[in-house]
Amino acid sequence: MKDLLYSVTGRICVVLFLDVLAFAVIIPVLPAMILSMTNGDASRAAVLQGAAATLDGALKFFMQPFLGRLSDTVGRKPILAYSLIGSTFSFGLYVVSPSVETLFISHALHGLSQCTFLICMSCISDDAHNPDDPSALTHSFGLVGVALGVAFVLGPIVGGALSQQLGFRAVYAISTGLFMLTFWALASFMKETLPLEQRRPFTWKEAIPLRSAVDIYSKSKGLLVLSVAYFLCSLTMGVYGVWIISSTVRYGWHELMAGVLLSLNGVVVVIGQGVFLRALVPRYLSESTTALISYTAHAVLFVLVGLAPTGNMMLVAVVIAGIPSALGEPAIKSVISHAVAKDKQGALQGLMGSVHTMASIGAIMYSELFKYGISEEMRNSNPMPCPSGYTPPPEVADSPNPCGGYPGLPFLVQAGFFFVAVVLMRKGFQMVAAEGEDFHSVAPSIDEESSRLTELHDIQAVNDRVAL
């Protein structure tokens, strides 16, 4: 344990834990704050939140490849410092003046600076990238997932409880203080992971998203297919953006219960990536098989969440299907990372950050789907009583059916995207495996994977040792 804390991965986990904790405490607070700006109008609040998130993502699409590539030249630590300073000012604005204008200014500042996660992933790749032991990188990414999961366990429930007692401005003040603490931890304990001899001269060609994409994808069509699949999976960010508002409309939940939901999701991630990932990969499952199983489970989870008639049933779905669904991201990132040379990890992570943030269009798409799902037409076609604790906005309170409709529609649409992504991943793993012998150890052929799954089921039938 002591060796882990003093390792590069351990220090990265500490930095990411504090950074994500600073963000997680405001997750249950932001929708409530936006609802207060719209006088309780859930449709307008969802659109505002989606538009702000789309602005954030659009700026990240251009900035993250630039910052990732710049880190290959100047090192990881200066770029991490820039990111944390930007986050501090971005969240601090809400303490001074919470308003619709602040919402967009804050998201713009965040989009221009935020790259903590992708640079930390580059640090992990610098330290753990080993073609002779591909699972080492997967396990390191899994430990990062544990750190994020613990932050998501503590942050939302603490933020939700403090918001009810002190108000959302106090929670944003705490968040700002946590970002300052993260910056201090970075300056005090974090070492530079990219040696001078491994740095590359900066070129704008690799820093521009489209040119960077052409440079990487021209060498591997399989990576292009995997990136499209990763994009479809990343659209789920938009669903998380309306999850809390949807839970308020469907179940009458407010900040504290929203915090409980997000904290439970964090527990599931910790168990999945901290226990099951290390137990199953690579002993029983390859990274590619793990990704396929995980994202299939994610699709099933979103179907269950979209159809859950009660909040308790949704929580049960998160627990049952959430654990296998938590395994996919470390696995697919390990596969992609091993397909690219070590001295291009910053550029790769920047490109993948652009793919991820390009999926922020899901925020506005799903906010519009949610708005349509609770429109008058949908409420009249599927009327339901208003849940206890939910007060419809004034403009619909006097209508015959102020509640009902299909507020779970965004989850069902995203479930469809997950199923399509699984099909693309299967094809992408086959293509990448055929493109280079170095990749066969990470992404074996689908026939080999099927054989391995058959062996796994035989082992489980004889001796119930493995939980899928």
Task: State how many domains the chain has.
Answer: 1
Please report whether residue 267 resides in a domain: yes
Lowest mean pLDDT among 91-100, 170-179, 409-418: 91-100
Neighbours of 134 (CB within 10 A): 24
Tokens of 402: 């102020």
Tokens of 129: 């990238």
Assign 229 a pLDDT band (cuts: 50, 70, 90): very high
- Write the Ramachandran bin of 129: left for phi over 0, alpha for psi from -120 to 50, otherwise beta: beta
Assign 441 a pLDDT band (cuts: 50, 70, 90): very low
Average pLDDT over residues 235-258: 79
Tokens of 411: 């989850």
Lowest mean pLDDT among 64-78, 125-139, 250-264, 340-354: 125-139
pLDDT at 213 over 80: no
CB of 326 within 8 A of CB of 268? Answer: yes
Assign 458 a pLDDT band (cuts: 50, 70, 90): very low
Neighbours of 177 (CB within 10 A): 15
Q: For residue 11, what is the DSSP state? A: H
Please report whether residue 201 resides in a domain: no
Share of the chain above pLDDT 90, in %: 17
Q: For residue 272, what is the DSSP state? A: I
CATH of the domain at 233: 1.20.1250.20
Please report whether residue 126 resides in a domain: yes
pLDDT at 405 over 70: yes
pLDDT at 103 over 80: yes
Please report whether residue 202 resides in a domain: no
Lowest mean pLDDT among 180-184, 186-190, 215-219: 215-219
pLDDT digit string, tens, across residues 139-169: 777 778 788 778 878 888 888 888 888 888 8
pLDDT score at 212? 66
Assign 466 a pLDDT band (cuts: 50, 70, 90): very low
d(CA 277, CA 41): 42
pLDDT score at 6? 59
pTM passes above 0.85: no
d(CA 77, CA 68): 12
Please report whether residue 467 resides in a domain: no
pLDDT score at 359? 77
Task: Give a three-class secondary structure readout of 62-106.
Answer: HHHHHHHHHHHHHCHHHHHHHHHHHHHHHHHHHHHCCCHHHHHHH
Please report whether residue 307 resides in a domain: yes
pLDDT score at 342? 67
Assign 129 a pLDDT band (cuts: 50, 70, 90): low
pLDDT at 219 over 60: yes
pLDDT score at 112? 92
Q: At what angle do helices 76-96 and 42-74 cross, to 10 degrees?
A: 150
Tokens of 247: 């839970």
pLDDT digit string, tens, across residues 448-457: 433 333 333 3
Q: Which domain holds residue 297?
A: 2-189+209-387+400-460
Please report whether residue 371 resides in a domain: yes
d(CA 152, CA 12): 17
Average pLDDT over residues 428-442: 65
Please report whether residue 235 resides in a domain: yes
Exposed/middle/buried for 40, CB within 10 Å: 0-12, 13-18, 19+?
A: middle
pLDDT at 440 over 70: no
pLDDT score at 83? 93
